[in-house]
Amino acid sequence: HLLSNQKEIDAYVIYLDDAGQTKEYMTEGFKKVVLD
């Protein structure tokens, strides 16, 4: 099951806030992958 080890999954998420503005969220692990 893909989500069984959720803590180990690095993620990049784009979502809309209450005002309908696009927000981006990256886990620290994902930032590390992107910036390295």
**Residue 22 Cα distances to 9, 10, 14, 30, angstroms:** 22, 20, 7, 19
What pLDDT was estimated at residue 32?
78
Please list the pLDDT of the chain residue by residue as tens digits (36 residues): 555 665 566 778 888 999 999 998 887 877 777 777
Degrees to nearest 5, angle at CA 19 with 35 and 26: 15
Tokens of 9: 């999954």
The pTM is what?
A: 0.41
Residue 19 has a pLDDT of: 94
Calpha distance 26→34 (Å, rounded): 10
Structure tokens belonging to residue 7? 């803590």
